[in-house]
Amino acid sequence: MTGLVASIVEAYGELRVNKGRIMLSLIGVAFSVFALTATLGAGGMLSSALEQSVETFSGRPTVLTVMQSEPPTGEIHPEQRDEVVLREIDRLGIDQRTRYSPLSLRYQTGSGVRTAQVTAVDPAYADMFRLRPEQGRWLADSDARRLAPAVVVNSEMWELMGRPEVGRDTVTLYAVDEQTSGQALLVGVLPKDPANAGMGAMAYTPMASVQELPGVEDTDLSYAEYRVWVPPEEADAVTGRLNSALRETDAGRFETYSGGFSFEDSGFGTLRTAIIVIAVVILLLGALGLVNISLVTVRYRVREIGIRRSYGATGGRIFTGVMMESVVATVLSGAVGVAGAVALVRAPFTQNAFRDMGLVDLPPFPVSAVLIGLLAATAVGILAGALPALIATRIKVIDAIRS
Amino acid sequence: MTGRPPMLELRGVTRTVRLPSREDLHILQGVDLTVDVGEHVAVVGRSGSGKSTLLNLLGLIDRQTSGELLFDGRETIRLSDRRRARLRGSSIGFVFQQFNLLERRTALENVMMPLLYGTAGQFWKRERTALEMLDRVGLADRAHQTPGRLSGGEQQRVAVARALVRRPRLILADEPTGALDVTTGEAVMGLLDEIAQDSEAALVTITHDLQVAALSQRAYLLDSGTLHDVDSAHAREALLATSGIRAGREAVAGSGPAADAPGRRTASDAGARA
């Protein structure tokens, strides 16, 4: 233990005495670690942003879609159809599931009545599609008991409606033929989402009270679709079991498929790999610079090493000392680089940029990026210290003292 | 006879190196030497006579080609590099001609350096021990000066303090006054001798200066790789044949800082015998 402390004391002494030279040599390492950590951190957050943006549109990676492929032979009420399908889903112990029924309704704007895409869903839909209102709240089970159906609208629709007060104002909705109208309570507004930009006015309403909406008939609910969110490792098994169970039912034939967007299989995976490769190249260049400087330094320190050996420093101790100098220095500079990277990525202007890209759940700075940054700095220290340390142990004491 | 082995003993030690021309160069040939606790031994010789090679062997920095080198009665050739380094650190202190202080380190840091390789107790008390040693050589007030701000004599005193800070039992001094003027050299040698005596450490001085050698209890001449008692006929002839040494011997005849110390030979004595 004392030997280790003594090695650190020795290394610190060396760093202190040669701080100018070492600072210069470590700028490269600090910058490399900064670049590596910032790239990995920002890359991770960018990936999350893209992933989340895509998921608001297509659902999380293992959201399965259960869709009717053949209609039933006889008449069946939508509620009975739902019962058939949901029973099979519930039997598999899946609690993250939603019915899904797209509708069209009209709504009042300052410049007339317009059409909105209204989707009737169950409350679980928000988690599955990573929707989080920026005002108000998402749909809840209790909304089914309201006299006026609840709606969550996107910001575009909210703007066009004249920004009604969320949670208090009711909005008037019309059937497509505008023959009937009804009131709905605005409970939430979704933020702007680049993935859905240009999709126009959109709204979500609880499936449980969908028939309270003006002009909605059973025929409007004939299109049957369900979404289930399952753990990735169970996706294939659940798909198979649902396909088997819902092949022939009184409600018709249903097929299950993975409707989620596989982030890893997409070009984003390649982007992430490219980012890592660039960061590693930057780091290796920094390491090479440090190795070069360390080698030159050891040559300058031949006499000193010889003197230390004459006073009892063992070869192992010299090796540890030289190595420790390198590691202590690179870990310190790595910490500076990591701190700089975290500060940059967490800076308000960077965070705003991520939000503009559709990052709903702003993730913390990836711990993996911090660890990789520090580990890389340590590895560079070991790499850059090993060769000079080896050379230092091979210095002949006699020649060194006389040099 | 106490039966206790000498602290350092060389028996028929040789050192041969292979030259690039594939010829063997015999630097030391059959060297016999015994150094006891508290003794002061000097080895004189011309440049290229093998003095430094002998010093490196005595300091366990180099290994002999043949013969035996015993430290406290134990053969050292088979000790691992690590054991030799530890033995060197704990039992041997070096004083070099060019001081060899660590640049940009203060006198205190230089003196503390050997304690980094010592025991846990020595390591944790290194600053106090080093300050005491600097005080012992009269440099307590210069403890925080770097070598560049110290005179040659002060630098060598720092080197002496560093050599003695781990209380070695053997001090090896390689031309300790070689880079100093006569007066300063005498003062440094006097100090080295005094501290060595106080700590009962053996002192082996390698020098080409008879005045320095005269301070020792025993002196040897290293000539062409062989060691001769300075009183021997061979040594006498060799000294006479070497003008440099003769001049040095004659210059100090009848003088020397410790010339009259009991048990000490003087340069004039050596010269008379030569």
| Domain residue ranges in chain B | 37-68+80-273
Of B242, B176, B243, B247, give the one whose Cα is nearest residue B215.
B176
CA distance A371 to chain B (A): 33
| Cross-chain CB nearest to B117 (options A5, A312, A402) | A312
Distance CA A19, CA A34 (A): 20
Of A268, A302, A264, give the one whose Cα is nearest residue A392.
A302
Q: Is the pLDDT of residue B248 over 70?
A: no
Q: Is the pLDDT of residue B28 over 90?
A: yes
pLDDT of residue B217: 87
pLDDT of residue B242: 59
Question: Which residue in chain B has the smallest CA separation from A17?
Answer: B104
Angle in degrees, CA A261, A265, A268, rounded to 5: 85
- Tell me the chain B residues in contact with residue A310 when contact means C-beta distances shorter than 8 Å: 59, 61, 88, 94
Question: Which residue in chain B has the smallest CA separation from A317?
Answer: B117
Burial of A349 (0-12, 13-18, 19+ CB in 10 A): exposed
Contact A135/A184 with Cβ under 8 angstroms? no
- Tell me the chain B residues in contact with residue A10 when contact means C-beta distances shorter than 8 Å: 116
Contact A168/A188 with Cβ under 8 angstroms? no
Answer whether A312 sits within 8 Å of B120, measured CB to CB: no
pLDDT of residue B109: 94
Residues of chain A with pLDDT under 50: none
Residue A206 DSSP SS3 = strand
Sequence-ordered strand ranges (E) for chain B: 8-18, 24-35, 40-44, 66-71, 74-75, 92-95, 170-174, 202-207, 218-223, 226-229
Answer whether A310 sits within 8 Å of B88, measured CB to CB: yes
Answer whether B85 sits within 8 Å of A13, measured CB to CB: no
CA distance A381 to chain B (A): 23
Answer whether B117 sits within 8 Å of A303, measured CB to CB: no
Distance CA A384, CA A286 (A): 10
pLDDT of residue A252: 85
Interface test with A, best of B116, B119, B171 (most A CBs within 10 A): B116
Question: Which residue in chain A has the smallest CA separation from B57?
Answer: A398
Answer whether A315 sits within 8 Å of B62, measured CB to CB: no
Question: Which residue in chain A has the smallest CA separation from B102?
Answer: A304
| Cross-chain CB nearest to B114 (options A9, A311, A315) | A311
Token match 């700075």: residue? A365
Of A161, A231, A154, A158, give the one whose Cα is nearest residue A195.
A154
Average pLDDT (B168-196) is 83
pLDDT of residue B229: 82
Answer whether B86 sits within 8 Å of A316, measured CB to CB: no
Burial of A366 (0-12, 13-18, 19+ CB in 10 A): buried
* DSSP β-bridge partners for residue B94: B172
pLDDT band for position B258 (cuts 50, 70, 90): very low
Answer whether A398 sits within 8 Å of B102, measured CB to CB: no
pLDDT of residue B237: 64
Distance CA B166, CA B162 (A): 8
Contact B207/B43 with Cβ under 8 angstroms? yes
Domain positions in chain A: 2-56+265-402, 60-258
CA distance A349 to chain B (A): 46
Of B247, B242, B196, B202, give the one whose Cα is nearest residue B222.
B242
CA distance B137 to chain A (A): 19
Q: Which CATH architecture has domain B37-68+80-273?
A: 3-Layer(aba) Sandwich (3.40)
pLDDT of residue B216: 86
pLDDT of residue B125: 92
Q: What is the DSSP string of A63-100?
A: EEEEEEEE--SS---HHHHHHHHHHHHHHTT---EEEE
Answer whether A311 sits within 8 Å of B113, measured CB to CB: yes
| Cross-chain CB nearest to A6 (options B81, B123, B162) | B123
pLDDT of residue B2: 54
Q: Is the pLDDT of residue B259 over 60?
A: no
Answer whether A314 sits within 8 Å of B85, measured CB to CB: yes
Residues composing chain A: 403
* DSSP β-bridge partners for residue A225: A67, A100
- Structure tokens that stand for A292 in this block: 């070069």
Of A45, A46, A48, A31, give the one whose Cα is nearest residue A340.
A31
Distance CA A324, CA A4 (A): 10
Residue A324 DSSP SS3 = helix
pLDDT of residue A350: 82
Q: Is the pLDDT of residue B207 over 90?
A: no
Answer whether A314 sits within 8 Å of B81, measured CB to CB: yes
For residues B155 and B209, the model is more confident at B155
CA distance A397 to chain B (A): 7
What is the DSSP code (8-state) at residue A196? G
Question: Which residue in chain B has the smallest CA separation from A313?
Answer: B117
pLDDT of residue B254: 39
What is the DSSP code (8-state) at residue B274? -
Tell me the backbone φ, ψ of residue B38, rounded to 5 degrees: 80, 0
> CA A311 from chain center: how many Å?
56
Own/partner long-range contacts of A282-287 (Cβ < 8 Å, ≥24 apart): A282/A32, A282/A35, A282/A36, A282/A39, A283/A32, A283/A33, A283/A35, A283/A36, A283/A376, A283/A380, A285/A28, A285/A32, A286/A28, A286/A29, A286/A31, A286/A32, A286/A33, A286/A380, A287/A29, A287/A32, A287/A380, A287/A383, A287/A384
Contact B207/B176 with Cβ under 8 angstroms? yes
- Tell me the chain A residues in contact with residue B89 when contact means C-beta distances shorter than 8 Å: 311-313
Residue B192 DSSP SS3 = helix
Question: Which residue in chain B has the smallest CA separation from A1?
Answer: B120
Average pLDDT (B123-152) is 91
Burial of A17 (0-12, 13-18, 19+ CB in 10 A): middle
Contact A314/A389 with Cβ under 8 angstroms? no
- Tell me the chain B residues in contact with residue A18 when contact means C-beta distances shorter than 8 Å: 104
pLDDT digit string, tens, across residues A81-134: 888 888 888 888 888 889 988 888 888 888 888 888 889 999 999 888 878 888
| Residue A19 amino acid letter | K
| Cross-chain CB nearest to A401 (options B100, B120, B162) | B100
Q: Which residues contact B268 (CB under 8 A, 6 or more apart)?
A: B214, B249, B252, B253, B254, B255, B256, B259
